Structure 1
Amino acid sequence: MASLLSRLSPVPYFPSYKGPYEVGTIDLELPVSQFVDEGLSPPCPSHSDIPTIQFRVFYPAALKDTATGVQGANWVPSPRKEYVAAYCRFAGANEFLANVLSYIPRHLYYIQIPAYPNHNILKPPSRFPVVIFSHGLCGTRNTYSYITASLAAYGCVVFCPEHRDGSAPATFIREPKRKSGLVELLKNTENESPKLEVDGVPQTPSSSESDCEEGSTGDNPEDEQRKKKADGSNESKAEKNKKGKTYTYKRNGVTCRRIDYISQAHEISPATVAIRHRQLEVRLWELGALYAVVQELNKGWREENIDGDIHLTGAKRASDVSRLLKMFEGKLDVTSPGSITWAGHSFGAATTTQFVKSCWYAPLFKQNGDLKEPLYVPSENLLQHFHPDGTIGETSKAPSTVLLDMWCLALLGDRTRVMWKLPIPGPTIGIFSQQFFKWKENLRGFRHVMNRKGGTFESQWFKEVQEEDDQAPTIGIPTNNDAIKDEASPRVHKLRRTSSLDVTPQLPTGFRQGDEEKINEGESSETTVSEQEEDAEALSLRRTQSRKSQLSIPGQPDRRFYYVAQSAHMSQSDFGILFPTSTKYLLGVEDSETVLDLNVRAITEFLRESGNDIAGYGGEERDSEIFGDGVVKGWELVDLELGDEGLKKVEESKKVEELGAEAKKKSDEPKAGSKEGSSRL
């Protein structure tokens, strides 16, 4: 009856999680001053001013059907009206229109995550494995709740930070009174002006000005005035609203600050790469600060650090805050080296890759000093989690990483090039949507991420010469209809150009709905053969051949790479499962729930393979099918052959074709005479 009522209700809903546990959740915002003061985290990047870290935690709360209390945490974060308005702004509405539109879809306010807010954590037979999940562009701490809460339903504790780098549709900072840890940060902020300006506007996470807006040349007094007021200290609230700058207001006596989404033209340029790197600096710092929080939770949160600056959603009494913070004591498997699993989607996957490499290779760069302008330098406390002896040695252990639809572009700039060429150190699983799998340029880059010897691939985007229209290359991914077809046509599409004023709405995970298809000339076509046209035996044989590239190598980390058929980039977020009809007709995704379940099955089995103690799949201890030799419908194994090797083969085949064509052309030419023919021989 309840299921029927859910289907009749206009409010989107989630299906139940498949694991054996009920899921609990807490939503926290904490000041970072404690961790900065104690040397557990560096202050946030000097071009930013973020005094807190915000995140949601999912954890096992009870055995199935035994939890107490009321199930249902709000999927749209608080303040809900502001978040809905932010998505409207993201889609192209101005501030006024976004506020008006935010009143219309009021049923979205009532979407519930099927988890128990502020429930006690289950007493574990052993410590729970920990996963830290980084969201993608236009994501929040709730956007991937189905995957992250499903992991909790199998026995993990999952921390989902909300990044304040301008990649969320909007995010809100509660200004803490505890400022001691921000002295160094504030000093750096005052003394160092932002290094990057686009159209005369300093690009910081506190600014939602787009670098693609027109009418700002930096050559007139008005532009100079905008530069002086970039920090917003002398602007009125109305001016800030009008310009989309940082918006400060008071709620229940607490000063709050809104950070808007930074709109980026989808063009490759030094300015674009620099802004992405500045965002990465904030994201990496947040992951490091969250690590310090996780360690503090496992040690047992100290009473003297519980005050009014800690905001725990739904906890009205200090005793509730104390109980919920202290319930993780001794229950998290974070003390052994490399025990935390790091995961992310899209920009979050790129963040995860850069973070793990930055921590793992830190001793190497500390010794030789080769790394110039690092995006992140881990604290000694974090460094010891990877390397107990402070160096890369026998006691070191690399963590497992989970990369969903990784967006490689953010890691291809000058400041990331050295780290890019180094291999990701631990066991890694990559799961792509079919849409991203068909994006050949990104796929080639990701194969280098998965290379056990490191990456050498550098995108052609940085090498192409601007054409007559003086536009930089567009970041193109396959159009949604073409990307999910079982058969791909061999057509080669020219790389189109787009105006910097193109404001086509983006997908909720950060890519434009209308982006063109880019298939590299000369690159071999990798397509899926319809299962209706290929029998199980032949399909199994083809997958077995691809599996050879993923076989474990003694002394080398494991690599797994799959994609899910009939899926789009947003299929790994909650949007597809909440709005299945729209996803089906707009993106061509037939079954969003199955797509997500395949992702969850693969991640949980990967965690088991990595030695994590989590519940089995269904009635079985292990999921033997998901990585097995058989056929799982919609689950496609990807060959890990490296991009360079593939390119060499393509170049060799092109040379053979050219020689063959030249020989054929000569043979078709009428012979001028036997003498001439003899001389040519």
Structure 2
Amino acid sequence: MSWLGRFNPTPTFPAYTGPYKVGSVDVETPTSNLSSPHDPSQSPPCPDIPTVAFRMFYPAKADSNQRGVKWIHNPQREVVSAYAKFLGAGNALASLFSMFPQTLYFVDIPVHTNAQMLEPPAETKRWPVMVFSHGLGGSRNAYSHICGSLASHGIVVVAPEHRDGSAPISFVHTPDEKEKIRRIGYVKVPHSASTETYEARDKQLRTRLWEIGLIHDALLKMDEGVALRMVAEGTSKKSSNDTKLPMFAHALNVHEPGAISFAGHSFGAATMVQLAKSIYYNPTTHQPPPSYKPLYAPSSSSPLLKQITPRTPVILLDLWSLPLDSPSTTWLHAKPMPCYASDNPTGGSTLLAILSEAFFKWTTNLNQTKRVLSKPSSADPSQPGPHIFYPIHSAHLSQSDFGVLFPWLTTKVLGAKEPERVLRLNTRAVLQTLRDAGVKVARTSVKDLELEGEKVDEVEDDKEILGTRKDGVRGWVCLSAEVEEEGEKKGDEAKDVGLGGQAGGVGGV
């Protein structure tokens, strides 16, 4: 009777292909309990936001049988309404949301809520950690499939929910005031380059970097066994000695320099570029010109300064480069990625960029992306450059949960195909980049390798996914980092990169 599943009106996620079950915990904790790495001489960008929120995906014990997580979190009607407003009247996705809201309420993320974490492998004793930043229109749930897929391969993935006006709506629970909830709605900012646009994106980036700095401190405290107070839904009545977080004590690889990986989609990818450069080229170790106005300047004593190293893995999905072009950060933008430091022979091998075909065809953004990723002319010729790929027939939406939940829409409206396979290819590439960086992750499965019928169960090294052969992996195109100036189309900076646009998808940009 499996054919009945075809008529199930409720969208569902495919199963994760890694060897581990996946647990998840939703965290919202007061900023007053955290030590911000932010330079105390500068005023915090969000003094009126009293908490920081994120979802964690992690390897769970095999006997975990807790319920899943609702993809549309509470209050669901308000969230659906916010998405409909974000999508805009007349948009195909907006129609979907308005026609089937009750169906969306029942979509579950296939994780085990608050499940106990699996013991880390004996040889490493700690799980590797990745922070994943969402794009415009995203949330801490909007990239659950790729985050959960990575967790099923032995990575603790932390997905912040940014309160910068980039999510359709975000709910801020006020500590000590259980009934008081602040709503932060989506802030519309033009996509074309202008003074107004750059000032607005600079403001959002300040918020995002400040939040990631706080989350970094929260991860340090979790690993050290420090109790974090929980104020999110369902936890406000609990004491500060919450029972959900002690499982992370002494189990996270977050203290070793360069251990944490940083990833993001679209505006989230731009966020991680800005984060890596802001910390590595901070004013305490470099001398910027007076025109440089840092969006984030950690204090000289912050542990975060030691975390970003030339060997730090950085994963960029559909990088949206416009926010990086702000006149206030021109000096920083001209600096190469930290991986190209002269004393780092591994170069760009820890830098992975995956584009959708839609962003590959957006020539101006493609060339700007290549400028961000490419090694400087002064670099040692033997130093490897970055990994850049795109899967054919993929849209910007394909990088998020919307591609796998609504495949018919991906095909009919955006012309994309095989959204589930696109995310499997992304996962393969991310895992192999981490392996090459010395991060211990689980082997890649035969299903992901598309090797059914061969006498192999799993592969330790998936070299093919980062290879340069045209016939290596079906529909997986390797790109050069060289900028093709003559092919650049002028005047396309204002391309529609929001939800439903030709380059669009959740996480907009």
TM range (shorter): 0.7 to 0.9
Once the two structures are TM-superposed, the CA of residue 7 in structure 1 deviates from its matched residue by 3.5
| SS of equivalent to 2:243 | helix
The residue that corresponds to 1:51 in the other structure is 50
Note the 1:237-252 alignment, pairs <5 A: none
The corresponding residue for 1:378 is 298
Alignment of 1:376-455 (within 5 A): 376-379=296-299, 380-386=301-307, 397-426=310-339, 427-453=350-376
The match for 2:260 among 321, 334, 340 is 340
One-letter code of the match for 2:68?
G
The alpha-carbon deviation at position 67 of structure 1 amounts to 3.0
Select the structure of larger CA radius of gyration. 1
**Residue 57 of structure 2: SS of its match in structure 1?**
strand
- The 2-side partners of 1:312 and 1:123 are apart by 26
Higher RCO by CA contacts (8 Å cutoff, separation 6 or greater): 2
2:464 to 621, 625, 630: 625
Partners of 2:38 and 2:210 within 8 A in 1: no
Indicate which of 102, 108, 112 corresponds to 2:108. Answer: 112
Give the CA deviation at 1:103. Answer: 9.0
Between the two proteins, the alignment pairs up a number of residues equal to 454
In 2, distance between residues paired with 1:638 and 1:131?
Answer: 25
Amino acid at match of 1:374: P
What code does the residue aligned with 2:387 have? Answer: R
**Paired residue for 1:667?**
none
Residue type of the partner of 1:617?
T
CA distance in 2, matches of 1:323, 1:41: 32
Distance 1:422 1:274 in 2: 21
Counterpart-to-counterpart distance in 2, 1:317 and 1:13? 32
1:297-316 correspondence to structure 2 within 5 Å? 297-302=222-227, 305-306=228-229, 310-314=230-234
In the TM superposition, residue 312 of structure 1 has moved relative to its aligned partner by 4.8
Q: Please say if residues 432 and 562 of structure 1, whose CA atoms lie closer than 8 Å, have aligned partners that are also in contact.
A: yes
* Structure 1 unaligned residues grouped into runs of 5+: 178-249, 388-395, 456-550, 651-681
In the TM superposition, residue 50 of structure 1 has moved relative to its aligned partner by 1.3
Q: Does the C-alpha gap of structure 1 residues 21 and 441 become closer, same or farther in structure 2, counting only changes over 3 Å?
A: same
Distance 1:444 1:25, change over 3 A: same
Q: 2:422 aligns with which of 588, 595, 608?
A: 595
Q: What's the CA shift for 1:8?
A: 3.0
TM-score when scaled to structure 1? 0.63
Give secondary structure in 2 for the equivalent of 1:284.
helix
Q: Alpha carbons of 1:407 and 1:451: their partners in 2 closer, same or farther (altered >3 Å)?
A: same
> How far apart in 2 are the matches of 1:626 and 1:130?
22
User: How far apart are 1:11 and its partner, in Å?
Assistant: 0.7
Change (3 A) 1:13 1:561: same
The residue type equivalent to 1:261 in the other structure is Y
Structure 2 vs 1, CA of residues 324 and 355 (structure 1 numbering), >3 Å: closer, same or farther?
Answer: same
> Which amino acid is 1:385 matched to?
K
Which of 81, 86, 99 is the equivalent residue of 1:85? 81
Report what 1:180 is aligned to: none
* TM-fit CA distance, 1:266: 3.1
In structure 1, the partner of 2:504 is none
- Partner of 2:29, secondary structure, is strand
- Matching of residue 578 in structure 1 with residue 405 in structure 2: yes
Q: Distance in 1 between matches of 2:205 and 2:385?
A: 26
1:74 partner letter: K
- Whole-Å separation in 2 of the counterparts to 1:148 and 1:588: 25
Matching of residue 639 in structure 1 with residue 466 in structure 2: no
Structure 1 residue 80: deviation in Å? Answer: 1.3
- In structure 2, relative to structure 1, the CA distance for the partners of 1:360 and 1:268 (3 Å cut) is same
Alpha carbons 1:343, 1:352 under 8 Å: kept: yes
Residues 269, 320 of structure 2: 8 Å contact kept = yes
- TM-score where L is the length of structure 2: 0.83
Larger deviation, residues 597-606 vs 48-57: 48-57
Any residues of structure 2 matched to 1:133-172 within 5 Å, and which?
133-172=132-171
What residue is the counterpart of 2:208 in the other structure? 283
Name the CA distance, whole Å, in 2 between partners of 1:23 and 1:631: 30
The match for 1:541 is none
The answer as to whether partners of 1:72 and 1:113 remain within 8 angstroms in 2 is: yes
Cα 1:627/1:267, change in 2 over 3 Å: closer
Contact 2:38 2:44 in 1 (8 A): no
Structure 1 CA distance, aligned partners of 2:319 and 2:21? 30
How far apart, CA to CA, are the structure 1 residues paired with 2:99 and 2:226? 40
What CA deviation, in whole Å up to 9, does each residue of 1:100-125 have, x standing for no partner? x8695111011100000000000012
Identical-pair percentage:
41
* Contact residue 374 and residue 415 of structure 1 kept, 8 A: yes
Root mean square deviation of aligned Cα: 2.8
Q: Which amino acid aligns with 1:596?
A: L
* Structure 1 pair 14–553 and aligned structure 2 pair: CA distance change class (3 A): farther
User: What SS does the corresponding residue of 2:127 show, helix, strand or coil?
Assistant: coil
Q: CA deviation at 1:51?
A: 1.2
Gaps of 5+ in 2: 340-349, 446-457, 489-509
Matches of 2:368 and 2:38 in 1, distance apart? 34
In 1, Cα distance between equivalents of 2:419 and 2:210: 33
